[in-house]
Amino acid sequence: MTGNRRLRPIVLLFAVATILAGWSAPAGGGEAGPDAGFLPTAGFAPGWVADGAVETFDRDTLYEHINGEAELYLPYGFERLTAAYFKPADGPKTGLGVDLYRMGSPLDAFGIFSNYRSPEGEEAGIGAGSEISDYHLLFWQDRFFVRLSASGGQPGRPVLRAAAEAVAKALPGPATTPAELDLLAIPERTPRSEKFVATSLLGYSFFPRGLTADATLDGRPVRLFVVVTPSAASAGAALDAYVSELARAGSPPPTRPTGNASSSTTPGEDPGASREPALLARDPLYKGVALQPSGPLLFGIARLEDPTAGVALLERWVGGQPH
């Protein structure tokens, strides 16, 4: 009996060691994760080496790495962040962080990227879209958004480019843009201003998701937007909800263009196609708004001084879409 009692602690220690050997820590600082192979390796630029281990963060731990920004990523199908750090081997106080975000889709990756880039920013020519400065380089490709950030000093643009190009070369998929962005392809659009908004377009919960872009109309800035819904019925319900919200806010009732001009076809459009007339409204947040339903989509122009001023552009825009 005495011998059995002496064996029990040994057996328990062996069992605990066996359990721990098969246990993996949850994602969140410490594990390299499956996307680590897309990151740069030591020597991506002459004299640069890894600084610490690769870390991985999931939806529950993302805030540990980007506290205050994590909520921005979640609606875009965020799955995982893989992060690495690099420094010069000779030890100057300069560092480079490389963050690789796996998003839900290429459109989601573009959406996150579009939240950070500026129309005045400098394109780096990396991935499907990019922006570079002396301290950062952003780009997106396939379903990935990549953010490189310098700390402690300027590493130099050649170093930023070398790291970004190493990632882009390793990532899957061609560097192409989602077809949804073609919805904003009109001459009046301001280049590099397109955005994909994953939830509550224009801040309205009944506009579930969509696209926006800046544009110029008659020399004045306006905002283009496209509400994306699952069906024509859903688009109609969203439009009804918008009208109800305007009434609740005390705005005057929306109107239609005189003579229902917007229901006519435009050059190149199928003559047999019929379109509901545009809706002209006064929005307390966005000034004049012109809205045109088209199947599961709502095309709109906001920030108009006079809603009727947007009708002609709206007609050309909607009429030029594939049918």
Average pLDDT over residues 46-64: 96
Task: Judge whether residue 265 has pLDDT over 70.
Answer: no
Residues in contact with 223: Cβ distance below 8 Å, sequence separation at least 6, in sequence order: 212, 213, 214, 215, 286, 301, 302, 303
Task: Judge whether residue 267 has pLDDT over 60.
Answer: no
Whether the Cβ atoms of residue 126 and residue 168 lie closer than 8 Å to each other:
yes
- Separation CA 301–CA 25 (nearest Å): 49
CATH class of 179-319: alpha beta
State the number of CA atoms in the 13 A half-sphere of 43 facing the CB: 0
The pLDDT assigned to 251 comes to 97
Task: Judge whether residue 25 has pLDDT over 60.
Answer: no
The answer to pTM > 0.75 is: yes
Q: Which fold has domain 36-170?
A: Protein Transport Mog1p; Chain A (3.40.1000)
pLDDT band at 153 (very low <50, low <70, confident <90, very high): confident
The token pair at 27 is 């994602």
The token pair at 36 is 């680590």
Query: Exposed/middle/buried for 126, CB within 10 Å: 0-12, 13-18, 19+?
Result: buried
The pLDDT assigned to 15 comes to 35
pLDDT band at 274 (very low <50, low <70, confident <90, very high): low
| Type of residue found at 96 | L
Task: Judge whether residue 163 has pLDDT over 50.
Answer: yes
Torsion 274-277-278-279 (CA) sign:
negative
**Domain(s) of CATH 3.40.1000.20: residues in the chain:** 179-319
The pLDDT assigned to 1 comes to 41
The pLDDT assigned to 62 comes to 97
pLDDT tens, 140-150?
A: 999 999 999 99
